[in-house]
A and B are shown apart, each in its own frame.
Chain A
Amino acid sequence: MTTVIADGWTMTRRNMTHVVRAPEELILYFSLPIMFVLVFGYVFGSGMQVAGGGSYREFLLPGVFVMTMLYGLGATATGVALDLSRGVVDRFRSMPMARSALMTGRSAADLLRALLEMSTLLVCGLLVGWQWRQGVGKALLAVGLLLLLRIAITWVGIYLALLVRNPDTVGVIVFPAAFPLSAISNVFVSPELMPPVIGTISEWNPLSATVAAIRELFGNPGLGGDSWPAEHAMLLAVLWPVLLIATFAPLAVRRYQRLSR
């Protein structure tokens, strides 16, 4: 058990050292959400309305937080696929280390990274006029929900990388998939204002659950209508990520074990 933790920590540190030694990637993942804040907040934002009223930028920021967690999928999957394609995973697997460390180390490092991204984004948010209105306790709870979502996304990413293996292919899959996923949700537009079918899909989108829940916790506008998912956002914001983890973590572990077939 101690080796599981020690090796997991060694691998976490390895992945964090990557961030320090190759910060370009981090800049890429930072610039995207900041760009969305600027484009949607200031360019499209003037023509946007929030169901139930309120500032659009304040409505938008929780959505951008969630989107940043979603785009972490690219970083996770690309990182794992690079390891697989460069044979360094073979070296790890031929060493007397805990087999789980590759995945737990990745998961923990991505969580630390997400924390870093979150703190930067919170500051950016404050700069453009967003704020939390329900006290620090609820704001921290909101950050907790975001990180829970990030863990779920990490496991989806690990599984995806083990499935596809080629880092270039991973990039080609992730980004075209991530954008519609964030667009058909309550990230940019209130689902009540969408055509009914798309609105319903948007409301059931796992991302929407977290967005709605943290809007509530931060006290930001756009709490959504009286549909079931909108009313039970807090529950779904916990349930969806837990369900994703329960599905994709075992799938990833099985895929990883199948490397020896």
Chain B
Amino acid sequence: MTTFEVVAEGLGKRYGPTRALDTFDLTVPPGTVHGLLGPNGAGKTTAVRILTTLLRFDTGRATVAGYDVLRRPDEVRARIGLTGQYAAVDEILSGRQNLELFGRLFRLGRREARRRAGELLERFGLDEAASRSAGEYSGGMRRRLDLAASLIRTPRVLFLDEPTTGLDPRSRNQVWDLVRGLVADGTTVLLTTQYLEEADQLADRISVIDAGRVVAEGSPDQLKAMTGGDRIEVVVRDAAELSQAARLVAPICGAEPELDPEVRRLSVPVVDRVAGLVDVVRALDDAGIAVEDIGLRRATLDEAFLHLTGHRPDEAREPVAAGRKADVA
């Protein structure tokens, strides 16, 4: 018996010559949010479909909520919720009818299904639209209804496959708040996303996946640290002074700054952030170099991703810049 709610060991799935998943490993402890971060086609959805019993796999082993997904799919299905990329609700039925239908199929009695539907509609702010067809809902409302449908029987493990793709910022925040509430109540969440901000906001741990395998795993801070941490950025007023500024900054930070003459900017990694910044300001001032802008920039997950996979998460996988592929121990 394992103490993890989700375990995947060496999962592999091929479609003809394409490896959708290639020795995919994952462990998610109870009550946490785990983010699967990767570009389109990286294998995120394939992993979710396998773990939610929708798809068979070729190699490896997977358990969810303590049950083998291949041998005991019904036990798994009774304990999970799934909200997919496309809101999977019945578009002709009303919001209330949808939740009652799914409630009945989750083995609730008629009265209990009705009660639960009413409760969820209220909690998700859909009670006013309860009798309208789901097909008439806005994108955000439909996603909330979809999420509500996954929660009819409070699931032990909730799978969210790109839950906010295509939503406006307000709806996105609503979904995030709902997810945080669920986790506070003890649900374990596996979240796939191509938005770094989403992973950063919600996930306790993140697996960066690319080409069907996990290329890095850690907390958001750990992943950001992999890019080399924080940097000081200076924009000088006169482009002619840029190289002089670089000569002054290099010994303070102990690294050669990167120069971008076009925008008169230098950028340099820094370890002791505040002391470094103070020293740089003082040195430039002493030298009489006019500074237009100066600041500390924290590493973003975006850079971590670029560093780890050689491309940005919203880019297609093909045009990988030569030499950018990072070695991850």
| Smallest beta-carbon distance B107→chain A, Å | 7
B177, CB-defined interface residue at 8 Å: no
Do A91 and B149 touch (CB < 8 A)?
yes
Do A91 and B102 touch (CB < 8 A)?
yes
Do B90 and A88 touch (CB < 8 A)?
yes
Closest chain B residue to A82, Cβ basis:
B91
A47, CB-defined interface residue at 8 Å: no
Q: Knowing A91-B102, A95-B105, A97-B105 touch, does A86 contact B56 (C-beta < 8 A)?
A: no
Q: Which of B24-32, B81-89, B205-213, B297-305 contacts A (4 or more CB under 8 A)?
A: B81-89
- Residues of A within 8 Å of B, CB-based: how many? 23
B271, CB-defined interface residue at 8 Å: no
B248, CB-defined interface residue at 8 Å: no
C-alpha spacing A241/B91, complex, angstroms:
33
- List of B residues within 8 angstroms of A97 by Cβ: 105-106
- List of B residues within 8 angstroms of A42 by Cβ: none
Binary flags per residue of B54-72, CB closer than 8 Å to A gives 1, else 0: 1110000000000000000
| Smallest beta-carbon distance B92→chain A, Å | 5
C-alpha spacing A87/B91, complex, angstroms:
11
Do A90 and B84 touch (CB < 8 A)?
yes
Main secondary structure of the interface of B (DSSP, over half): loop
Do B92 and A93 touch (CB < 8 A)?
no
Q: Knowing A96-B107, A260-B54 touch, does A17 contact B74 (C-beta < 8 A)?
A: no
C-alpha spacing A90/B84, complex, angstroms:
9
C-alpha spacing A88/B149, complex, angstroms:
11
Do B93 and A96 touch (CB < 8 A)?
no
B133, CB-defined interface residue at 8 Å: yes
Closest chain A residue to B50, Cβ basis:
A260
A46, CB-defined interface residue at 8 Å: no
Do A17 and B87 touch (CB < 8 A)?
no
- List of A residues within 8 angstroms of B264 by Cβ: none
Complex interface residues of chain A between 68 and 122 (CB less than 8 A to chain B): 86-88, 90-97, 101
A10, CB-defined interface residue at 8 Å: yes
Do B106 and A17 touch (CB < 8 A)?
no
- List of B residues within 8 angstroms of A95 by Cβ: 77, 102, 105-106
Partner of A10, one of B86, B104, B133: B104
A7, CB-defined interface residue at 8 Å: yes
Do B88 and A96 touch (CB < 8 A)?
no
Q: Knowing A21-B133, A92-B105, A95-B102 touch, does A14 contact B77 (C-beta < 8 A)?
A: no
Do A87 and B88 touch (CB < 8 A)?
yes
Partner of B88, one of A21, A86, A260: A86
Do B106 and A96 touch (CB < 8 A)?
yes
B52, CB-defined interface residue at 8 Å: yes
Partner of B56, one of A14, A22, A87, A260: A260
Binary flags per residue of A12-27, CB closer than 8 Å to B gives 1, else 0: 0010011001100000
Q: Knowing A14-B93, A18-B92, A88-B88 touch, does A93 contact B106 (C-beta < 8 A)?
A: no
B23, CB-defined interface residue at 8 Å: no
C-alpha spacing A90/B78, complex, angstroms:
15
B97, CB-defined interface residue at 8 Å: yes
Complex interface residues of chain A between 234 and 261 (CB less than 8 A to chain B): 259-261
| Smallest beta-carbon distance B162→chain A, Å | 12
- List of B residues within 8 angstroms of A91 by Cβ: 82, 84, 88-89, 102, 149
Partner of B93, one of A21, A90, A93: A21
| Smallest beta-carbon distance A20→chain B, Å | 10
- List of A residues within 8 angstroms of B85 by Cβ: 87
Closest chain B residue to A97, Cβ basis:
B105
- List of A residues within 8 angstroms of B84 by Cβ: 87, 90-91
Q: Knowing A18-B93, A21-B92, A96-B78 touch, does A90 contact B54 (C-beta < 8 A)?
A: yes
Do A90 and B88 touch (CB < 8 A)?
yes
Do A94 and B93 touch (CB < 8 A)?
no
- List of B residues within 8 angstroms of A7 by Cβ: 105
B222, CB-defined interface residue at 8 Å: no
Q: Knowing A7-B105, A87-B86, A260-B55 touch, does A94 contact B91 (C-beta < 8 A)?
A: no
C-alpha spacing A171/B149, complex, angstroms:
30
Partner of A88, one of B54, B74, B89: B89
Do B89 and A94 touch (CB < 8 A)?
no
Partner of B53, one of A14, A94, A261: A94
- List of B residues within 8 angstroms of A17 by Cβ: 92-93, 97
Closest chain A residue to B56, Cβ basis:
A260
- List of A residues within 8 angstroms of B78 by Cβ: 96
Q: 16 extra interchain contacts, Cβ-Cβ under 8 A, other than A18-B93, A261-B55? A: A10-B104, A17-B92, A17-B97, A21-B133, A86-B86, A88-B88, A88-B89, A90-B84, A93-B53, A93-B54, A94-B82, A95-B102, A96-B77, A96-B78, A260-B53, A260-B56
26 A-B residue contacts at CB 8 Å? A3-B107, A7-B105, A10-B105, A14-B101, A17-B92, A17-B93, A17-B97, A21-B92, A21-B94, A22-B92, A86-B88, A87-B84, A88-B90, A90-B82, A90-B84, A90-B88, A94-B53, A94-B82, A95-B105, A96-B77, A96-B106, A259-B54, A260-B53, A260-B54, A260-B55, A261-B56
**Lowest 7 CB-CB distances: which A-B pairs, in order?**
A87-B88, A91-B88, A96-B77, A96-B78, A97-B105, A94-B82, A87-B86
Residues in A lying within 8 Å of B, measured CB to CB: 3, 7, 10, 14, 17-18, 21-22, 86-88, 90-97, 101, 259-261
